[in-house]
């Protein structure tokens, strides 16, 4: 399946049972809600998916399960976040074997690679898989920036097709468009500047709070795409306090609490993460509760979708 880099693609959370095993039942409930809302892809094993705590076998189970559930309705992407080039190539090949349609790829983990090393790392994986790749550019959290000059080199690999743009600098979208036109698709990766990024020309949104609020997230995308900016803006303004739960070190716990509130998740996280307690928990629950009380009535946004 070739990937149409557009629309809303949730970076889904990984569901765990009370015994700390994969909760595939609740995972299925959430994936079905995402598909029902009209998302355009599913991203597994990102930060929100608690990737660093998952075993190889668990990642493979998630990929196979999702591919089965989704049944080619939308592309399934697996995140590659590895410490070695060899490990990244192996992870990409396993994802391909298990039914993933594409990859989201972070620069090397732990070691802060230089520009040349980072480029070689991405190219080595691209040359060892036939899957399309989206480079995850998040220098704020991962301390390595993939610059436009580096993309110039990376785009020599035909299957490097998109960037998850998380630099927090919306002017970067215009720079990418001016330099690469449509050759490098742009998926915005920061919830709190998502609408701004889409209006500046981003093709889609790798989203976080979509895990708990799939319909509202897709509605914002479809409305702005149809030119109904004011309606998109009203939903987005309601959504912002919730979206801010995503740009926080405890984003996983925050979003899982929101999933509980909307009935499509549990708050089980895997240690060293622990569920929120005290004032922190009270604050997050208050944000969620306030959002739910004022939850907007959505127009028939699905009728706007152009495929």
| CATH for 149 | 3.20.20.70
> Shortest CA distance to 242 belongs to which of 222, 276, 214, 267?
214
Q: What is the mean pLDDT of residues 33-41?
A: 98
Number of domains comprising the chain: 1
Residues with Cβ within 8 Å of residue 91, at least 6 apart in sequence: 56, 59, 78, 80, 82
Tens of pLDDT, residue by residue over 218-233, are 999 999 999 999 999 9
Residue 282 belongs to some domain of the structure: yes
Residue 194 belongs to some domain of the structure: yes
Residue 127 belongs to some domain of the structure: yes
Around 57, how many Cα atoms within 13 Å sit in the side-chain half-sphere? Answer: 2
Domain that holds residue 272: 7-304
- Integer distance in angstroms from the first to the last C-alpha of the chain? 15
Residue 1 belongs to some domain of the structure: no
pLDDT above 60 (res 167): yes
Tens of pLDDT, residue by residue over 43-58, are 999 999 999 999 999 9
Residue 2 belongs to some domain of the structure: no
pLDDT for 307:
52
Q: What is the mean pLDDT of residues 9-30?
A: 98
Residue 117 belongs to some domain of the structure: yes
Residues with Cβ within 8 Å of residue 74, at least 6 apart in sequence: 9, 35, 39, 40, 41, 42
Residues in the chain: 307
- Percentage of the chain surpassing pLDDT 90? 94
Burial classification of residue 189, based on how many CB atoms lie within 10 Å of its CB (0-12 exposed, 13-18 middle, 19 or more buried): buried
Output the furthest CA–CA distance in the chain (Å, rounded).
51
pLDDT above 90 (res 91): yes
Residue 263 belongs to some domain of the structure: yes
Torsion from C-alpha of 182, 41, 260, 20, nearest 10 degrees: -110
pTM score, two decimals? Answer: 0.97
Residue 193 belongs to some domain of the structure: yes
Average pLDDT, the chain: 96
pLDDT for 75:
98
């Amino acid at each position: 399946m070739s990937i149409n880099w557009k629309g809303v693609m949730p970076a889904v959370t990984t569901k765990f049972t009370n015994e700390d095993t994969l909760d595939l039942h609740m995972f299925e409930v959430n994936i079905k809600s995402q598909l029902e809302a009209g998302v355009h892809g599913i991203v597994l094993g990102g930060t929100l998916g608690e990737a660093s705590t998952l075993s190889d076998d668990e990642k493979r189970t998630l990929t196979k399960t999702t591919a089965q559930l989704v049944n080619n309705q939308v592309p399934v992407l697996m995140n590659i976040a590895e410490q070695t080039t060899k490990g990244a190539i192996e992870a990409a090949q396993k994802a391909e074997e298990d039914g993933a349609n594409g990859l989201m790829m972070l620069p090397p983990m732990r070691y802060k690679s230089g520009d040349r090393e980072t480029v070689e790392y991405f190219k080595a994986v691209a040359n060892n898989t036939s899957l399309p790749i989206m480079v995850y550019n998040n220098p704020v959290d991962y301390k390595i920036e993939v610059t436009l000059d580096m993309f110039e080199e990376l785009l020599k690999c035909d299957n490097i097709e998109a960037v998850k743009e998380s630099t927090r600098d919306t002017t970067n979208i215009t720079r990418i468009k001016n330099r690469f036109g449509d050759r490098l698709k742009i998926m915005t990766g920061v919830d709190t500047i998502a609408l701004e990024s889409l209006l500046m020309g981003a093709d889609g949104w790798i989203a976080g709070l979509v895990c708990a609020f799939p319909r509202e997230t897709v509605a914002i995308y479809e409305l702005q795409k149809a030119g109904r900016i004011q309606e998109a803006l009203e939903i987005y303004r309601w959504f912002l306090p919730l979206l801010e739960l995503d740009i926080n070190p405890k984003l996983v716990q925050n979003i899982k609490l929101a999933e509980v509130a909307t009935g499509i998740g549990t708050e089980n996280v895997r240690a060293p993460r622990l569920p929120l307690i005290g004032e922190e928990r009270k604050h997050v629950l208050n944000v969620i509760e306030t959002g739910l009380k004022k939850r907007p009535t959505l127009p028939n946004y699905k009728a706007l979708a152009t495929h």
